[in-house]
Amino acid sequence: MHVFNDARVDTNLFLQLQDLASVLSGNADLKFEYNYGSFIDLVEFKLTASRFWDNTSVDIKSAGLKTDVYLRAIGTLRYSTIPEMKGFLEIIAESTLPKFAYQLFALLEDLRLEELIKLERPGTKGAFSIRRKAYQHYFGTQLNVNATRGFPLDELFCLLYLQLVSDRPNPSFPKATAQQLDMLEELKPLLFQVFEASSTVDTARITEQIVFRLNGYKDTINEYFVLPVNHIHQYEKNTLFDELTRTDPLANDDFEEVDQEESEYFDQEFSTWHRENKNENRKQNFLQFELEQGTKTSILGGGARETEEGDQALVSIQGASSQSKQNDYSDTEALEKEETATQGGKSDEFGEENRDAVQLDKEAHPPTAEDMETYQVFLREIEPYKRKLAKTIEKTIEHKKNEPRSDLVFGRLSKKLLPIIIDENPRVFYKKNEDTNEFDAVFSLLVDCSASMHNKMDETKRGIVLFHEVLKHLKIAHSITGFWEDANGVKDDYQPNYFHRIHKFTDSFYEHNGPKIMQLEPEEDNRDGFSIRVITKELEARREKNKFILMFSDGEPAAANYDQNGIVDTNLAVTEARKKGIEVIGMFLANGEIGEREDDTMQNIYGRERVMIPSVSELSEHFAPLLKKLLLKMI
């Protein structure tokens, strides 16, 4: 497994970076991701930060990732021009050093943008300072490596970076080769022009001049930077910010000839001024509408402003009218829109990362003789811990209360005695609300049935059996569901996710259903965030006061297009459930010692509400204090 997929994800930092990308770009739909390099892509609508920072300290990593976002969301989006980048790429395509060329362009453009950003937002200076020191150390090390291995152009690239960020005009590079030091001296006059660059045109010109001076070199071996704009050939506007706010042209391209002299218009001024949005220069003080279909005309109205075929709708207008005499198709239109929005399961109800995920329920079959025999073995093993866990839950969760009843013929005498005088058969007694034998709680045990659980599934099943027996004994409704994604059935727009319904809330007390738990087995992938949202929706419909999801998992979500964002999406699903009053507890049942990496992963998803248990024998000891804390919080 590559480090890219196996890297730990700090969910708090990731969400900070997502918010930063959304706020700085001005678009909440712009998605943040980690990638091999930092770039912005408005075709896939994402902004990425480089995986380069993964192997640095916490402080350097945070500053490095944030500066990647600053450079793309403020710099590239607003201050880099697309036509110049396209022209540069066309010219460099003729070069024998294209890889070196686009990396050098990315480096020089980032240095130009960095200065603009620090000027606009002084609060970013500290992070950029950390970034620069980290890269100085890195390229200093790489310089020695490339010189030793005999990679001349890689060595020269390191020298160019170190020269540009040095606080001295002639820094010393004792381990560099004489040939590359001579080339650096030759390139310095061109290189120092970077400090006067004021546009992408300047950056491209300097890069081209340097590249075409390098004769006799083979292209770079390593890739240090990537082009800051992805899918650049699909953009038409001057900047990415223009692309972000662009609107599509009209669907039809016909043109209606209109006799302007025969046309009439009303020259009426509509004021949109308000104290809070005063516009002294009278710029953009107009209403805009997005037209997808229509016919162009040559009519000028009252001196219309020039614009594109379709302008972005900046305001919504609602008018009042009488009922039409024609047929009313509003309901039909609404139905068509709803069908389009949900077609193919493309709703965001279960999270943006799960738009193609489809829920498929699988019913448990009657237990076999082998299931029953294994279940009895598990029962004997968990018996010593059953009473202890039952006592913990019983002491912590309150019983349900019967509603108080009034207007009875016997019971406690009410203070409202008027019916004795006015009613022929007065009912002036009532009964207080009383505790029942039922607990005001409901549990859903959700079991990760992915392949990575194969060495933990037996211990997990013991834990499930223990909880099932305790909850059944206390008459607490509960469900048990195994989940996995069928990797072999995944298509471009279809991700089948199975929910193995071992126990439902309605049959959780059935005496002979316990052995069905033995049917839980490791299957394929796991899309944890989707599964938690599905179960959350089911628990929302329950009337109990205390609702719990016990998520038995190894904390490593992995599914189609889910590896990188799985931990973050699952953390979001947990947060959403908790906001709805449903407590989600991560349950890690190991078959021995728990590693630091496993604990870190579970913490990133579930925070403090996680139970890391080496074996079932320690479950009560670990679970009791957490359960008490959660219930005290819910009172």
Could you report the per-residue pLDDT of 244-267, keeping only the tens digit for each?
Answer: 886 554 444 444 444 444 444 444
- Is 143 buried (19+), middle (13-18) or exposed (0-12) by CB count in 10 A? buried
pTM of the predicted model as reported, rounded to 2 decimal places: 0.58
Query: Which residues, 6 or more positions from 65, have their beta carbon under 8 angstroms from its beta carbon?
Result: 13, 17, 49, 50, 53
What CA–CA distance (Å, rounded) separates 40 from 47? 4
Q: Are 619 and 390 in contact (CB under 8 A)?
A: no
pLDDT the model gives residue 28: 87
CA 165 to chain CA centroid, Å, is 35
CA 184 to chain CA centroid, Å, is 44
Amino acid (1-letter code) at residue 124: T
Question: How many other CB atoms are there within 10 angstroms of residue 71's CB atom?
Answer: 30
Residue reference for tokens 């059953």:
386
pLDDT the model gives residue 324: 43
**Lookup: tokens for 437:** 């034998």
User: Long-range contacts of range 570-576, CB-CB < 8 Å, 24 or more positions apart?
Assistant: 570/528, 570/529, 570/532, 570/605, 571/11, 571/15, 571/604, 571/605, 572/15, 572/351, 572/529, 573/351, 573/528, 573/529, 573/530, 573/532, 573/533, 573/536, 574/532, 574/605, 574/606, 576/533, 576/536
CA 283 to chain CA centroid, Å, is 37
User: CA dist 253 to 249, 293, 312, 325, 580, Å?
Assistant: 9, 9, 18, 32, 50
Element (H, E) at 458: helix 457-473
pLDDT the model gives residue 252: 46
What CA–CA distance (Å, rounded) separates 128 from 148? 30
Say what the alpha-carbon torsion angle 192, 194, 198, 201 is, to the nearest 10 degrees. Answer: 120
pLDDT the model gives residue 39: 96
Q: Give the SS3 label for residue 607.
A: coil
Cα angle for residues 551, 529, 608 (degrees, 5° grid): 50
What CA–CA distance (Å, rounded) separates 267 from 287? 15
Length of the chain in terms of residues written? 635
3-state SS track over 358-418:
EEEEEECCCCCHHHHHHHHHHHHHHHHHHHHHHHHHHHHCCEEECCCEEEECCCEECCCCC
Which is nearest to 519 in space by CA: 411, 375, 308?
375
Q: Are 73 and 38 in contact (CB under 8 A)?
A: no
Strands of 53-147, DSSP E: none
pLDDT the model gives residue 347: 65
Cα angle for residues 268, 274, 276 (degrees, 5° grid): 160
pLDDT the model gives residue 317: 33
Q: Are 451 and 439 in contact (CB under 8 A)?
A: no
| CATH numbers and ranges of domains, the chain | 3-234 (no CATH), 363-398+440-634 (3.40.50.410), 401-436 (no CATH)
pLDDT the model gives residue 627: 72
pLDDT the model gives residue 7: 56
Q: Which residues pair with 33 in a beta bridge?
A: 48
Amino acid (1-letter code) at residue 123: G
Q: Give the CA radius of gyration of the chain.
A: 33
Residue 414: phi and psi, rounded to 5, are: -80, 160
pLDDT the model gives residue 506: 85
pLDDT the model gives residue 618: 79
Q: Which residues pair with 622 in a beta bridge?
A: none
What count of Cα atoms within 13 Å lies in the side-chain half-sphere of residue 144?
Answer: 7
Alpha helices, DSSP H only, in 502-565?
528-540
Question: Could you give the strand order of the β-sheet that contains 610-613, starting from the edge strand earlier in sequence?
Answer: 357-363, 495-503, 478-485, 441-448, 546-552, 582-589, 610-613
State which residues of the chain have pLDDT below 70.
1-8, 246-347, 398-425, 427-438, 511, 564, 620, 630-635
